[in-house]
Amino acid sequence: MSLFKQASLINNHHNITADLFMSFNLRFSCLWIHRYTGLAMAAFLIIAGITGTLLAFHEELDDVFNHELAQVDVQDTPHLPIAVLHDRVLSAYPKHNFSSMPTSIAADRSAVFSVDRARGKAAQNQPKAPFQEVYVNPYDGNIIGTRDKDQWALHNTMWKVFWLHRDLLLGDIGKWVLGIVSVVWTINCFIGFYLTFPRALKKKNTQKKPSKKRASFLKRWLPAWKIRTKSNLFKLNYDLHHAFGLWLWGMLFVIAWSSVGFNLQQVYRPVMQAVVGLEGRGEKQEKSKKSREKVGQTSSVGTGASIDVDINALNTVDVVNKANSIDYLSEQAYIAAKSQDMSVQQLLGIRWVEDEGQWQLRFKTDKDIGKKGGASSITVDAKTGSIERVNFGYQSSSFGSKTDQWLSTLHMGHISQGIGHILYQIFLALIGLAVTVLSVTGVYLWWKGRQQRLKALQKGR
């Protein structure tokens, strides 16, 4: 190839690149990204939306499918003590550990005891249980049955729905796939929001004065929030896609980004550390340890708890045992919360920490976020009854941790109690349906647009 031809090709290449750069259109580029990433995600988001709608009522639906184990006939006689029910389970399954107990049992529900999940070296020495839960009749102490959540059975329907929602029933591979989808979805939330803005008018070189004053941005943006009732199918889908995306944008973003947190910590944690100051895991553990030590030093004074103990009996009798553990720790939790101007809203569960000889009660106060990572706990020594640690969820969390807890709590639906909780469940179910609608309408709009583009090409030939 001659030098002249090479120079000509290079010059043409530069001209093409310049033309592409000059013709770059931000809105068109965003529309292209939104359209084709939306198509790639559609199937996954439809699955997530439908399963998410069902999971908003996970416990209620699980009781329906698992009613033979979960529900019992109400009787006139009182329940047996929870400690007695726990002893029945230990006697029936001596090879497995059950360190946790429920703090209360509804009149028409069976008592549920979960097998401890063995981790690390303990998992090698302890045989894997063929079940995860044991159901006991609280009236007579008879064991109703066990439940293996991994089994494909009708009573496990909601757990299969949960795993389909969490990892597509594909384990770690499914979590990676959904994690990547969630990242793209999060970015798409911002792109989609931008695409609802009214288009900018092209500037024209004219000396004529405008005959009419242009409407404000908000007035031109307002139609994107509305759904036209009298319209054809295409316009209806178009309006639903725009309006649902705008009305529910904040919650859709929360669901999308928290999904990244559940599935792709490698992306979620660095971003959260940079944006809201979420602590690293090592830093969080060290901070939590210092907080517990500080609370432990002041708990005997701060909580106002008075413990009358026979020193001579400490070596032979536990002040706090299985029979009185729930009453004792719940009383101490109420005292500790009151000393901090809080109230205990719900007792979440109690467990025996064998290595340390301690009882630990988890509970939710009116200032805590959710019932998982943001909950409070109190730990007492079984021998002396002294309070070892009091961890109030709202106190031990930084702004970054609280943001993280709010995201996961809103996603999981662990909000409020009573009618407030039911209303949020309904709202969360509607969000799941909205995700499905946005995906379906997006595919429909692409399909109709593709048909129009193909017709235009045929006419142009």
What interhelical angle do 26-55 and 58-65 show, nearest 10?
40
- Residue 313 has a pLDDT of 38
pLDDT digits (tens, 9 = 90+) for 348-367: 999 999 999 999 999 999 99
pLDDT digits (tens, 9 = 90+) for 326-350: 999 999 999 999 999 999 999 999 9
| Cα-based distances in Å from 29 to 178, 192, 193, 198, 455 | 25, 12, 14, 16, 23
Cα(410)–Cα(81) distance, integer angstroms: 35
pLDDT at 191 over 60: yes
pLDDT at 163 over 80: yes
Report the phi/psi class of residue 341: left, alpha or beta, with left for phi > 0 and alpha for psi in -120 to 50. left
Mean per-residue pLDDT, 207-211: 55
- Residue 230 has a pLDDT of 84
pLDDT at 19 over 90: no
pLDDT digits (tens, 9 = 90+) for 427-437: 999 999 999 99
Residue 136, classed as helix, strand or coil, is strand
Give the mean pLDDT of the chain: 86
* Cα dihedral: 30, 183, 48, 37 (round 10): 30
pLDDT at 137 over 90: yes
User: Other C-beta atoms within 10 Å of 396: how many?
Assistant: 18
Between 283 and 385, the more confident residue is 385
Lowest-confidence pick of 81-95, 200-214, 294-308, 399-413? 294-308
pTM of the entire predicted model: 0.84
pLDDT digits (tens, 9 = 90+) for 54-64: 999 999 999 99
pLDDT at 152 over 90: yes
Residue 348, classed as helix, strand or coil, is strand
Instruction: Give the number of residues written for the chain.
Output: 461
Cα(318)–Cα(44) distance, integer angstroms: 54
pLDDT at 157 over 50: yes
| Cα-based distances in Å from 92 to 151, 316, 458 | 22, 27, 76
Nearest to 153 by CA among 70, 66, 71: 66
pLDDT at 314 over 90: no
